């Protein structure tokens, strides 16, 4: 008789988005005349840029001709895409990353969930609190997190690094030494960043402790400030301690298209064993490559037209972010993020909990956001609004909040 991976049974239910959906449905049912504005979503809304669509169409047509048809893609991605990534994301930023260190995939969620299988089960992970839930849950599934305490909402073997207004949302080195450190910068959910000088200190720390950093840079395209690194490889010696995960979802609207990549430098070694070789083996065994049409679409993201069109899209969302930031500030809220990320993280007024503020905003302004406590215990007392809505609805939502 078979048995199951009992670790799955340890996962607490993910009540966050289902509870939001239930509350919203109940409110809409009893107040059908009040139009809601949803600023809770972490998904893009603008259509894919014309240059990208054109490249995708062309690639589809190629698949219809015997002479240009392509079967299985190379495991690690087509050379045309990996070359474009190396040139634009790394070489132009002074990072020495080569094509055989790039692993094209179907997205950053899969990669950030899968990457943990390179490490032994007794490795201790450290995460920021609040956190993107995938990092913790994927390690729970692998049996690396110990037992869950529902009162404190923490796992016994996970090292938590609180990121709050008290420390400026910059994680401090933990008391216990971690083996695997997850960093997401610019951050989801807080929308905050850390300066490159601080990131360098994390790189130095990881190298000194023999730890590995899993660096999620899904929001890199939203960085506007000079002192924020676009890649962890802008830091000295990061290639011997860091894996970087990137996505085409937030910069190019690929959430439904699916494309991302992970960088595993050849200098990253554990006792002489190359993690690059391990991840190559993993891709070869478990992955048959991202679709040709999608990789051509990804290539177009780096074309001259593609870059210009995407800069406009990111600019559109960032204009929403400043509408939210300025509106909330004017209304007297304490606001973070929204400068290098499409997320605004606000402190709930007084002693209001995250969920109390959710209800207040839903009932009084008919605006839907996300309670900060859903991302971890240190998210309690905070609330996330996203800039992914339309400009008109964002302006309308802030108008409603300002007159409360
Ligand atoms: C949206 C998001 C991603 C992107 O995931 P994809 O699978 O590429 O769509 C990755 N990490 C974080 C923190 C995100 O918010």
How far is the C-alpha of 43 from the C-alpha of 361, rounded, in Å? 20
Is the model's pLDDT at 372 over the cut of 90? yes
Q: Mean pLDDT for the chain?
A: 97
For range 31-52, the mean pLDDT: 95
Cβ-in-10-Å burial (0-12, 13-18, 19+) of 342 comes to buried
For range 259-280, the mean pLDDT: 98
Which one, of 180, 190, 193, lies nearest residue 122 by Cα?
A: 180
For range 99-124, the mean pLDDT: 98
Sorted by sequence, the CB contacts under 8 Å of residue 87 that are 6+ apart come out as: 302
Pocket of ligand 1 contains residue 249 by CB under 6 Å: yes
Pocket of ligand 1 contains residue 182 by CB under 6 Å: no
**Three-state DSSP class for residue 93:** helix
For range 263-283, the mean pLDDT: 97
For residue 13, the model assigns a pLDDT of 84
- Other Cβ atoms less than 10 A from the Cβ of 92: the count is 10
How distant, in Å, are the alpha carbons of 105, 186, 206, 345, 359 from that of 292? 12, 29, 37, 38, 45
For residue 33, the model assigns a pLDDT of 94
Pocket of ligand 1 contains residue 184 by CB under 6 Å: yes
For residue 41, the model assigns a pLDDT of 80
Listed range (15-19, 116-120, 245-249, 269-273) with the worst mean pLDDT: 15-19
How far is the C-alpha of 77 from the C-alpha of 251, rounded, in Å? 20
Q: What separation in Å is there between the alpha carbon of 200 and the centre of ligand 1?
A: 23
**Model confidence over 288-336: pLDDT tens digits?**
999 999 999 999 999 999 999 999 999 999 999 999 999 999 999 999 9
DSSP state of 222: G
Strands 269-270 and 382-386: unpaired
Pocket of ligand 1 contains residue 111 by CB under 6 Å: no
Q: What separation in Å is there between the alpha carbon of 95 and the centre of ligand 1?
A: 23
Q: Ligand 1 atom closest to Cα of 248? A: 8
For range 189-195, the mean pLDDT: 98
How far is the C-alpha of 105 from the C-alpha of 291, rounded, in Å? 9
Q: What separation in Å is there between the alpha carbon of 110 and the centre of ligand 1?
A: 9
Is the model's pLDDT at 38 over the cut of 90? yes
Assign 3-state DSSP to the chain and report helix, strand, coil percentages, each to 5.
45, 15, 40
Question: What is the best residue among 106, 249, 342, 384 to mutate for testing ligand 1's pocket, by most ligand atoms within 8 Å of CB?
Answer: 249
Is the model's pLDDT at 254 over the cut of 90? yes
Q: What is the pTM of this model?
A: 0.98
How far is the C-alpha of 323 from the C-alpha of 65, rounded, in Å? 48
In the sheet that holds 370-371, the strands lie side by side as 334-337, 343-347, 382-386, 370-371
Pocket of ligand 1 contains residue 303 by CB under 6 Å: no
DSSP state of 49: P
For range 243-250, the mean pLDDT: 98
Q: Ligand 1 atom closest to Cα of 216? A: 11
Which one, of 158, 163, 159, lies nearest residue 194 by Cα?
A: 163
Is the model's pLDDT at 15 over the cut of 90? no
Q: What is the dihedral of CA 194, 198, 200, 205, to 10 degrees?
A: -120
Is the model's pLDDT at 14 over the cut of 90? no
Pocket of ligand 1 contains residue 340 by CB under 6 Å: no
Counting residues of the chain whose pLDDT is more than 90, the rounded percentage is 98
Question: What is the best residue among 132, 294, 298 to mutate for testing ligand 1's pocket, by most ligand atoms within 8 Å of CB?
Answer: 132
Pocket of ligand 1 contains residue 296 by CB under 6 Å: no
- pLDDT bin (cut points 50, 70, 90) of residue 42 is confident
Q: Is the bond into 164 cis (omega within 30 degrees of 0)? A: no
**Model confidence over 194-229: pLDDT tens digits?**
999 999 999 999 999 999 999 999 999 999 999 999
For residue 378, the model assigns a pLDDT of 98
For range 386-399, the mean pLDDT: 98
């Amino acid at each position: 008789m078979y048995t199951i991976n009992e670790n799955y049974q340890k996962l607490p239910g993910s009540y966050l988005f289902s509870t939001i959906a239930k509350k919203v449905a109940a409110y809409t049912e009893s107040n059908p005349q009040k139009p809601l504005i949803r600023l809770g979503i972490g998904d893009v809304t603008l259509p894919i840029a014309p240059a990208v669509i054109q490249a995708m169409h062309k690639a589809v047509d190629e698949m219809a001709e015997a002479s240009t048809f392509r079967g299985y893609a190379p495991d690690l991605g087509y050379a045309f895409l990996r070359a474009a990534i190396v040139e634009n994301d790394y070489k132009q930023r002074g990072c020495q990353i080569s094509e055989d260190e790039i692993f094209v995939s179907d997205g950053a969620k899969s990669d950030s969930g899968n990457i943990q299988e390179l490490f032994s089960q007794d490795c201790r992970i450290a995460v920021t609190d609040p956190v993107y839930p995938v990092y913790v849950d994927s390690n729970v599934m692998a049996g690396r997190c110990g037992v869950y305490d529902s009162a404190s909402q923490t796992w016994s073997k996970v090292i938590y690094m609180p990121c709050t207004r008290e420390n400026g949302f910059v994680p401090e080195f933990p008391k216990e030494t971690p083996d695997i450190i997850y960093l997401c910068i610019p951050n989801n959910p807080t929308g905050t960043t850390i300066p490159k000088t601080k990131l360098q200190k994390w790189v130095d720390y990881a190298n000194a402790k023999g730890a590995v950093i899993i660096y999620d840079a899904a929001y890199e395209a939203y960085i506007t400030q000079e002192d924020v690194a676009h890649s962890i490889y802008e830091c000295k010696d990061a290639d011997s301690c860091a894996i970087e995960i990137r996505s085409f979802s937030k910069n190019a609207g690929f959430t439904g298209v699916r494309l991302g990549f992970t960088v595993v430098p050849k200098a990253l070694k554990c006792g002489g064993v190359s993690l690059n070789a391990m991840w190559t083996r993993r891709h070869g065994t478990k992955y048959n490559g991202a679709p040709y049409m999608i990789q051509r679409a990804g290539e177009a993201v780096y074309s001259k037209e593609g870059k210009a069109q995407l800069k406009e899209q990111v600019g559109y969302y960032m204009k929403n972010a400043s509408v939210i930031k300025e509106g909330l500030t004017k209304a007297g809220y304490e606001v973070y993020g929204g400068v290098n990320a499409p997320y605004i993280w606000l402190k709930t007024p007084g002693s209001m909990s995250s969920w109390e503020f959710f209800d207040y905003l839903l009932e009084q302004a008919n605006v839907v956001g996300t309670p900060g406590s859903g991302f971890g215990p240190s998210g309690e007392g905070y609330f996330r609004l996203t800039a992914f809505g339309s400009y008109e609805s964002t302006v309308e939502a802030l108008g409603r909040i300002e007159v409360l």
